[in-house]
Amino acid sequence: MTRLIIKTDPDTKTFKLIQYAVVFEPFETEGLEYVKQGCGAMWDDKSPIKLFDTHEDAQKEADKWNTGQVVQYG
């Protein structure tokens, strides 16, 4: 079952779709990095972050990484 989550911004009275991203730790000393779109070997600082509409889809991607974690994005 796919479930979209929407949060409300009380200040602006607007709704926003909650999206998820995956972070991982490529090297212990460098901290966390977002999984990006495309092939991992081709990422650079301008590569767009890979976003997911459901936590379940993001978790499937996170499971591909040794240190993958799902986080809310945006």
Average pLDDT over the chain, rounded to an integer: 85
User: Does residue 66 carry a pLDDT above 80?
Assistant: yes
For position 6, what pLDDT does the model report? Answer: 61
Considering the chain, what percentage of its residues have pLDDT values greater than 70?
Answer: 84
Main-chain phi, psi angles of 32, to 5 degrees: -85, 150
Identify the band that residue 3 occupies on the pLDDT scale cut at 50, 70 and 90.
low
For position 28, what pLDDT does the model report? Answer: 79
- Structural domain including 37 reads 6-73
The answer as to whether 1 is a domain residue is: no
Q: Where does the chain show beta strands of DSSP type E?
A: 6-9, 14-17, 19-24, 33-34, 69-73
Question: How many domains in the chain?
Answer: 1
The pTM of this model reads 0.76
